[in-house]
Amino acid sequence: MGAARRLVFPILWLVVFGVIAAALFKLAFLDGLSTEAETPVPSAALQTATVEATRASVTNLVQAQGSVVADPAAKVRSTSDGTVVYIDVEAGQAVAKGDRLFQVRKPVETPPAALPQQDDDDAPPPAPVQLYAYADIVATASGTLTDFPVLLNQQVTVGTDVASVAPGTFSVQGTLSTEQQFRILDRPQTATVSLNGGPAPFECGSITTGGTADGAAGQEPGSPEGQPAGGATGTFSCAVPAGVSVFAGLGASVDITAGEAENVVTVPATAVRGAVQNGVVWVIQDASGAPEERAVSLGLNDGQQVEITEGLAEGEQVLQFVPGSPAQDDGQFAMTGAMGG
């Protein structure tokens, strides 16, 4: 009986080790081969992004930053030379355009007819009568006389600065980038100004644009003098209406509206090479998806959509991105497949 037990235990251990070995073999070889065979091969399908020309409304809105500045004083130059004989005003006084500021006098040559006649040929010649011409120097603008250095008996000459008249009005000035200047080029413009901590938004009229001036509004702190912020290349200015309470230095956000178009053919700005007047799009002509370059005429641009005035019809398909430009992932580029192994 003891010998039988000693024989049974080794056999049981052999069976256990056999089962373990079989399981390890299956996991290492059979299951591994099956998993590897069933692993899907990575794959990718790249779809060219296209977009359809559709009708929409476009509002050409340019947003810019600026600040309130006092309008410069008007210079008054003397229109005559001579001696100041009468002064009508003083610095700090309000004047209207055309008001006399002071009067000058200068001698003129006495004509022969004005000389006194003498009856006695032996008498000494009479003293000539000196004649004078008088001229009024007037204000060239309405406002406050801020600079008036003229004195009585002072000699003045033509073209000399003799006074400054501050209009007491304000403007909002700021900078524009090249792209913004093109968007408002030769188009009717209105502007809505929101002052930082100031009154409610108001319409700002008489909009003008031009080249960058030294010390333009919007200059970044620490930037070289006269260098505008953000690589701006131009400036804008508009007049603050009378009755709006402002003071120089207030920051402002300005919305410049340069045209509106309703129910016009549009495509995304990313689909057009060019932004002003003329551009190029790539039209999908047939089922093969091959794009064809086509010249188009451009209208308004709101930064997202571009109006197509000629060269493209509603419903035509175009490439969403200009060939060669960095594409943006908007969900139309589909990458499919799974990584395995």
Q: What is the pLDDT of residues 284-323, one digit of tens each?
A: 887 777 888 999 999 888 888 999 999 999 999 999 998 8
For 7, 16, 24, 140, the CA distances from 11, given in Å and listed in that order, are 7, 9, 20, 125
pLDDT of residue 217: 42
Tokens representing residue 273 in the block: 């090479």
Half-sphere exposure of 70 (CA within 13 A, CB side): 11
Q: What angle do CA 26, 29, 31 make, to 5 degrees?
A: 65
Rounded (10°) CA dihedral 275, 280, 282, 285 = 130
- Extract the runs of DSSP E, i.e. beta strands, from the chain: 50-52, 54-70, 74-77, 82-87, 94-95, 100-108, 131-138, 143-147, 155-156, 161-166, 170-176, 190-195, 202-211, 234-239, 251-268, 278-284, 291-301, 305-310, 317-319
Burial class from Cβ neighbours inside 10 Å (0-12, 13-18, 19+) for residue 108 reads exposed
pLDDT over 90 at 188, yes or no: no
| Global pTM value | 0.62
pLDDT of residue 41: 54
Model confidence at 222, in pLDDT bands (50, 70, 90)? very low
Model confidence at 9, in pLDDT bands (50, 70, 90)? low
pLDDT over 50 at 281, yes or no: yes
Q: What is the pLDDT of residues 18-54, one digit of tens each?
A: 777 777 766 666 655 554 545 555 555 456 788 988 9
| Among the ranges given (115-119, 260-264, 322-326), the one the predictor scored with the smallest mean pLDDT | 115-119
Model confidence at 79, in pLDDT bands (50, 70, 90)? very high
Q: What is the pLDDT of residues 122-176, one digit of tens each?
A: 667 666 678 899 999 999 999 999 999 999 999 999 999 999 999 999 999 999 9
Q: Percent of the chain, pLDDT > 70?
A: 72
Higher-confidence residue of 316 and 331: namely 316
For 156, 195, 263, the CA distances from 296, given in Å and listed in that order, are 63, 40, 18
pLDDT of residue 335: 37
Residue 119 identity (one-letter amino acid): D
End-to-end CA distance of the chain: 56
pLDDT of residue 181: 86
pLDDT of residue 274: 85
